[in-house]
Chain A
Amino acid sequence: MIQEDKTKSKIQLFTGSRDEVNMAEWKRLPAHDENFTEPSGLDRRDALKIMGASAALAVGIPGCKRKPVRYIVARNEMPEYQEPGKVLEYSSTWTDGDFPYGMIVKVVDGRPIKIEGNPDHPVNGESTNAQMQASTLSLYDPDRMKEPSIGGSVADWKKADAQVVQAIKGAGSVVLMTKSTLGPSEREWVEHFLKAKPGAKHFVYESVHDTNRRNAWKKVFGKDGELIADYSKAKIILSVGCDFLGTEPLSVEATRQFAQGRRALDDGTDVKMNRLYVAEAGMSVTGSNADHRIRIKPSEMLKLVHGLRYALGGQMQKLTEFVEANHLDRKVFEALAEDLSANRGKCLVVAGQEMPESVHAAVALLNNDLGNFEKASKVFRWNPLASRLSVSDTEEIKSTLQAGVDVLICMGVNPVYDWPGGGFKTLLAKAKTSVGHGLYANETVSECTVGLPSSHNLESWNDAVARMGVLSICQPVIRPLWKSRQEAESLMLWTQQISDDAKLKGFKDWHDVIKKNWITKLYPGVKNGKIKWQDGLRSGVSVSTTFPLRAKLDTDKALELASQAMPEGGAFEVVVLPDAGVHDGRFANLSWLQECPDPVTRLVWDNAAMISPKTAISLQVSEGNLDQGDVVGDVLDVSVNGQIVKLPVLIQPGIADNVIVTTQGYGRTKVGRVGNDKGKNVSVLVSGNGGWIQTSAKVSKAAERYPLVKTQKYFKLEDDKMDHDEFRHIAIDGTLSEYKKDPGFAKHRYHIPKQVDIYNSPYDYTKGYKWEMHIDMNKCTGCHACVTACQAENNIPVVGKDECANGREMHWMRIDRYHTFDPSDTEEANPTVHQQPMLCQQCDNAPCENVCPVNATSHSPEGLNDMTYNRCVGTRYCANNCPYKVRRFNFYEYHDRNEAALINKKQLPQFNPQVTVRMRGVMEKCSFCVQRINTGKYHATNQGRDVLDGEIKTACQQVCPSNAIVFGNINGKGADGTGVSQVRKFKDAKLSYNVLEELNVKPGIAYGAKVRNPHPDLAKAVPAHHNHHGSSGSDGTHNHDHAHGDHG
């Protein structure tokens, strides 16, 4: 490794001409450093010496010796159901995140290696989000807290328990702080605890929560609970700053329902398509799927909703004033008002959890006006039993702690890091005894007098309620790896010791509690409870739905609440949102999520101040661009209530002008080696009780600079002078009216010259197995769950920020983003976004195959483009010749040596044993999950039958919340044994097209062209020139300019 002082001098030499760049902020970028040596603690000279010596030895001793002796260590007793190499599936519940989704944990030889959704779970089904996929990574995280500590020194559980119990017994005031996602049994024991210790207080704390919305609903509906929207039933959806496809809880279900409402893959006659209007300040995943996007400041949201209400009542005046004041397009609002009034009871208006209570009340009134709460309407259901508790008033917590408490117990919360406005450390110090219980020795736990390690989700028993009638079990799939204990069990043991209630003492551990509750409370009156318990463990979920429940809006109260005006906006407004990857920071040490590109900006390993291009011009700041040699971008001083955060600039079209959008979850200091000191902590910009929107912020350009890394570069795909035929139609979209006129419009967009093959394929692809895929871009929202699922399934390494900057990220699957601007939008302010998953296209005329000098990539009779790692010598010819840029090269043995990757020996157990762990110097790429294909084929063939349609699912297909990906045998029959397979049906649909079909590479993946559904009055004729701003994934072999490439 290069030493610190050397680095500086070298960089100064290198960048001597650019003195304005702040040297301290410069990050070492290997490719730019000629003296860089691989981070292995070995310099080049040493390496050469060792190489020479080993070569000498190699000549002398070798061949006579066999390969190393290897052993088969059979167990003494084989655990139940286990066979070597066999995948066992256990159903469980994900309790790490903000919603308890059902999951299936795949366990091989006792090691949990992969998470799938639980098909029996009515909320998420077989799909998951990216964070759930990373669960297995966090289980094996070597940075987890491993044993209890008292006063900073290691202790055992006995001592720690004794100290805590003694402190509680002698305490006058006890405060228990928990997260909001407690299961029913946990809630029950919190009650027991409060009863056992009179005067104890329970506070619920989260830094990301939906309590603004819940409180508003409580006030206007008169009862506690939540409204659940069914997006599949709505024809018109208006989102008022609600990222229901992205960072909101329930996004997995919402994505599925939304996609159900955007089915276009048929002959063009029977099209089911909703229309999505999104009014937002930032650019969210939901916004990038909108048919009409309204860019407005967050402080104007309330006026927008009120304006709409008046407009629907026949008074356009208010809306017109609002539109003119904000320089918006009047036509969009006219269309919106018309659409809403024409679809009473079949439209949905939802507001984001960041919005203040008044907006939620106004939205409830608007929905009420539109008849969406009426019996006939099916778009909303009332759920009286929310999965999350409402969070406590932060002011109340503050004043309680300020007064001084004897014992403060922080369970699974991290207020020292994310307390709104900061400054929890001093509050914590006021407590005589503080107890921190967490997965990591994080900012809070390390400050506490007693620090206790929590067991992981996959090591714990629990139950969870997703909603009324949906109860699920969380069961451990592995013994705790460290000396940890789950939080609920700690609470139970302490309660037992301080309580006199004999009934509470009967429980041995948390498993006892869960089992007893499941048997007695879930199936009251069922005698043979044991069987039901086994059933519960097997399916993981119990569904006894009594939906739909309705709620009646108290319009007077709603009007009163909705009339509370939002504070007027100042020069700059700040919006703080949860991060798409690390959420509120709890996943910050998971390298998969750090390196999973942000679904909108494609930013990795950082958070940023996201601003619109116009704001960037007015602030005279620019974003660094590696391509132009200007590596580091500007930094903004964002100041709210006197607190300043320095945030690097990221320019994202689509954000409202003079608004700074940033994400929570970064700037952790004590989470682990991966997450520490990544990005900036923005919790000081948030004010208490859900104040994520700051309407008067001061923003100025800071003196320093900071390099951000995005996995996609931004440049024009098409020149104005370019001939239409010259332009490559990669991501094709059209409007619904165009689709109805010409269902095959996608194929008519481009011209295919006469295609001649030089040689014939040795295989007949019309018979037997031929694996193909179809990706419907009408359904894909770009949520990136597939990218992480692929990483988990295929042992894909993480490369770290520096290597991402070199374009060497290893994701086999990426999602390409394209921005299209209306010709009238000269500022390029409001893009229409196109998300396109891009992975190996498994071409039948694969250009990679015929340039490989060692035949490491070849074609299989089943249409797969095989990659044989043990043959590859790493010439990278194949990657250069691939028109889709989907091949990845392993430059530095990332699994072993890259510090940022941190997949060291402790994390090896996560590897999928069915997939080779590739070494350095080897090309790799998507294999269509050939391990799953082979396993499925073996299974079917051993039974003497063909593989059924849908029997084999690729990892990306299985995880996809919107079911956009269909995979199967193109020559196969349908799942019922008749007709054709689903993939064939979709491929034959008129919307389906191949990317770069004109190259005659015969890709095995077809895409369903995106059909947009703008209001007919606003649908523009397709311009001859699509002003596409495209960005293509780079593959580490500097080919990111393929969009400019030759068009021969």
Chain B
Amino acid sequence: MFSKKFDRRIYLFLIFVFGSGAVGMTFGFYALWPANVEKGYKPEQPIEFSHALHAGDGILPDGRRGMNIECIYCHSNVETSAHATVPPTSTCMKCHSQVPARLPDGSLNDAAYKTRPQGMAAFAELKKLIEDYHGAGKPVEWVKVNDVADFVYFNHSRHIAAGLDCTECHGDVGTMDRVERVHSLKMAWCLDCHMQEPTETTTEQYKELELRGPIHCSACHR
């Protein structure tokens, strides 16, 4: 009916439309797949708290060395409770009532920060913590990074007692300046681990079932 050239153009056009549709969908699926959306979530926090500085032991860009504080020093209930506990501001103040030091008139001493690269930025963050939050009696609203749905009842203490390291789920927080989610924390990801071969810390109950952990519904949903 049409000329060959025109036909070819139609075919090309259709191939282009469907092809780009297919590529777009593949990309879209990949990009929007829940696991991929959740991964890499790295929100801005009200205070630029650096886990790398506090919990890590590497060298920071400004030349300081991480302080290598144990996770449990701040996340103190991780061994006994369902929640690891984001510490109350008073925990920060155990050190930061001295750091930075105060001048005789009561104001914060920024002398030590002036000399350092990005020192004043760090000082501003500290000032926020000490004066705007703790001093004003205002709680810090940390943005939740590693979050599971409300119908999931995850228990930290059980996983710590089974010998898991914090980093297995939270990634190497000690290298993160700002905390980022490294796993999807979706059910499939949980089950990937629970369905593996038992280890020596697995309880008898699940060794019997050749599982590392429970995979029945009420283990997490109730």
- Seen from chain A, the residues whose Cβ lies within 8 Å of a Cβ on chain B are 63-64, 66-67, 69-78, 83-86, 763-764, 767-769, 858-862, 864, 866-871, 914-916, 927, 930-931, 934, 938, 941-942
Are B142 and A84 neighbours in the complex by a CB distance under 8 Å?
no
Q: Would you give the shortest CB distance from A475 to chain B, in whole angstroms?
A: 24
**CB-CB < 8 A to B150: which residues of A?**
916
Q: Is B203's beta carbon under 8 Å from chain A?
A: yes
Are A916 and B151 neighbours in the complex by a CB distance under 8 Å?
yes
Q: Is B208's beta carbon under 8 Å from chain A?
A: yes
Q: Would you give the shortest CB distance from A826 to chain B, in whole angstroms?
A: 51
Known A-B contacts A83-B83, A768-B208; the reply to A76 vs B139 at CB < 8 A is yes
| Chain B contact residues, majority secondary structure | loop
Are A74 and B88 neighbours in the complex by a CB distance under 8 Å?
yes
Please choose the segment from B18-26, B60-68, B130-138 that sits at the chain A interface, where 4 or more of its residues have CB less than 8 A away.
B130-138
- For the complex, give the distance between the alpha carbons of A861 and B219 in Å: 10
Are B218 and A866 neighbours in the complex by a CB distance under 8 Å?
yes
- Within residues 63 to 99 of chain B, which ones have a CB less than 8 A from any CB in chain A? 77, 79-83, 85-90
Taking A83-B81, A769-B205, A930-B222 as known contacts, 5 extra A-B pairs with beta carbons closer than 8 A to each other, sorted by chain A number, are: A73-B141, A75-B89, A76-B88, A76-B134, A864-B218
Known A-B contacts A69-B143, A72-B144, A938-B155; the reply to A916 vs B134 at CB < 8 A is no
- For the complex, give the distance between the alpha carbons of A766 and B137 in Å: 56
Q: Is B101's beta carbon under 8 Å from chain A?
A: no
Q: Would you give the shortest CB distance from A3 to chain B, in whole angstroms?
A: 37
- For the complex, give the distance between the alpha carbons of A916 and B220 in Å: 11
Q: Which residue of A lies closest to B38 (CB)?
A: A66
* Cβ-neighbour of B153 out of A69, A73, A76, A931 (below 8 A): A931
Q: Which residue of A lies closest to B216 (CB)?
A: A860
Q: Which residue of A lies closest to B137 (CB)?
A: A76
Are A942 and B157 neighbours in the complex by a CB distance under 8 Å?
yes
Are B222 and A66 neighbours in the complex by a CB distance under 8 Å?
no
- For the complex, give the distance between the alpha carbons of A866 and B158 in Å: 21
Q: Which residue of A lies closest to B37 (CB)?
A: A66
**CB-CB < 8 A to A70: which residues of B?**
143-144, 147
**CB-CB < 8 A to A78: which residues of B?**
88, 90
* CB-defined A-B contacts under 8 Å, sample of 16: A69-B43, A71-B143, A73-B140, A74-B139, A76-B134, A76-B138, A77-B90, A83-B81, A861-B209, A868-B221, A869-B221, A916-B221, A916-B222, A934-B153, A934-B155, A942-B80
* Cβ-neighbour of A71 out of B38, B142, B217 (below 8 A): B142
Are B141 and A934 neighbours in the complex by a CB distance under 8 Å?
no
Q: Which residue of B lies closest to A69 (CB)?
A: B143
Q: Is B149's beta carbon under 8 Å from chain A?
A: yes
Q: Is B161's beta carbon under 8 Å from chain A?
A: yes
Are A914 and B222 neighbours in the complex by a CB distance under 8 Å?
yes
Are B151 and A870 neighbours in the complex by a CB distance under 8 Å?
yes
Interface core residue of B83, B208, B217, B221 (most chain A CB under 10 Å): B217
Q: Is B41's beta carbon under 8 Å from chain A?
A: yes
Those 4 A-B pairs whose CB atoms lie nearest each other, nearest first:
A860-B216, A866-B217, A63-B32, A866-B218
Q: Would you give the shortest CB distance from A78 to chain B, in whole angstroms?
A: 4
Q: Which residue of A lies closest to B144 (CB)?
A: A70
**CB-CB < 8 A to B157: which residues of A?**
938, 942
Are B89 and A74 neighbours in the complex by a CB distance under 8 Å?
yes
- For the complex, give the distance between the alpha carbons of A513 and B131 in Å: 40
- For the complex, give the distance between the alpha carbons of A870 and B161 in Å: 28
- For the complex, give the distance between the alpha carbons of A100 and B203 in Å: 45
- For the complex, give the distance between the alpha carbons of A224 and B150 in Å: 57
Q: Which residue of B lies closest to A769 (CB)?
A: B205
Are B221 and A870 neighbours in the complex by a CB distance under 8 Å?
yes
- For the complex, give the distance between the alpha carbons of A866 and B218 in Å: 6
**CB-CB < 8 A to A931: which residues of B?**
153, 222
- For the complex, give the distance between the alpha carbons of A702 and B209 in Å: 68
- For the complex, give the distance between the alpha carbons of A64 and B29 in Å: 11
Q: Is B125's beta carbon under 8 Å from chain A?
A: no
**CB-CB < 8 A to B165: which residues of A?**
none
Q: Which residue of A lies closest to B155 (CB)?
A: A938
**CB-CB < 8 A to B133: which residues of A?**
76
Are A74 and B142 neighbours in the complex by a CB distance under 8 Å?
yes
Q: Which residue of B lies closest to A71 (CB)?
A: B141
**CB-CB < 8 A to A867: which residues of B?**
217
Q: Which residue of B lies closest to A75 (CB)?
A: B88
Interface core residue of A64, A764, A861, A915 (most chain B CB under 10 Å): A861
